[in-house]
Amino acid sequence: MPLPKPKDNESKDDFLKRCMGDDLMNREYPDKDQRYAICNKQLEDKSKDPKSSKKKKPFMEARSYPFEISEVRAEGNESPKIIGYAAVYNKLSEDLGGFREKIQPGFFTKVLGDDVRALFNHNEDKVLGRTKSGTLKLEENSKGLKVEISPPDTSYAKDLLNLISRGDVDQMSFQWITEQDEWDTSDLKNVVRTLVSAKELLDISPVTFPAYPQTHAQLRSAKQVYINHLEELLEDISKEEEERNKGWEDEISLMEKQLTILKKEI
């Protein structure tokens, strides 16, 4: 598979650490000095590559993971609050169309100050809370992204509270834009994407149907992410094949087949 290459917004030190510890690099370049020189060359090539600044722009993604709402709490004369997790760390999703993904601890750190809405079923007409107004509170801990919603005195919010109390609605979802991710493509039949950091957190939402298979729109966004990644991989492999005179025929064939199937599905 292709050699490691610097990611957008990745520091030189972070890249060199990752590159020097990469399994492929250690196998093909066991000499530490040679491996360090190759890693540095990857950095130089990245800075000279005019295409590095023309990568596809990140777009909104949505996932409905089966993450539970822990409780509806009302203390004293206070209105009830919805408390639970919109995301849980280090838990592999089900198949998203050729890959699975997990969320790395710290994924939400940079976006906790965003102006985020809590919606019901991601419906913009059914606002439940907002961080700016203090009716939505977000907290990142070792488990994941904990949320506390103080819903309004509206008919749809009262209906939702009743549904949660009955156990009819007990899970959450979130929509976001990715800043950084990492792909493990060492086994193309078991590809794993790790979400490292979010660029924007758009909303969190108690949802009626969070379980897979997802809605067509959500699954389409996941497949588009994988299409973009496969196209970049194929481009990198093509360059390295010329530079290192090493064939990637099997990998190229499998990825091209996956791309053809994915593009037909979306």
Q: Higher-confidence residue: 167 or 236?
A: 167
Q: How far is CA 246 from the centre of its chain?
A: 32
- Residue 136 phi, psi dihedral angles, 5° rounding: -130, 125
The average pLDDT across 202-216 equals 68
pLDDT tier at 67 (50, 70, 90 boundaries)?
A: low
Q: Higher-confidence residue: 91 or 52?
A: 91
Q: If we measure between CA atoms, which residue out of 216, 200, 174, 262 comes closest to residue 58? A: 200
Q: Which pLDDT tens digit goes with each residue over 92-135?
A: 888 887 888 899 999 999 999 999 999 999 899 999 999 999 99
Residue 149: the pLDDT is: 95
Share of the chain above pLDDT 90, in %: 28
pLDDT tier at 53 (50, 70, 90 boundaries)?
A: very low
pLDDT tier at 47 (50, 70, 90 boundaries)?
A: low
Q: If we measure between CA atoms, which residue out of 169, 146, 147, 148 comes closest to residue 158? A: 169
Share of the chain above pLDDT 70, in %: 70
pLDDT tier at 211 (50, 70, 90 boundaries)?
A: very low
Residue 223: the pLDDT is: 66
CB distance 207 to 214 below 8 Å: no
Mean pLDDT score across all residues of the chain = 80
Residue 245: the pLDDT is: 44
**Model pTM?**
0.64
The average pLDDT across 47-51 equals 57
Q: Which residues pair with 132 in a beta bridge?
A: none
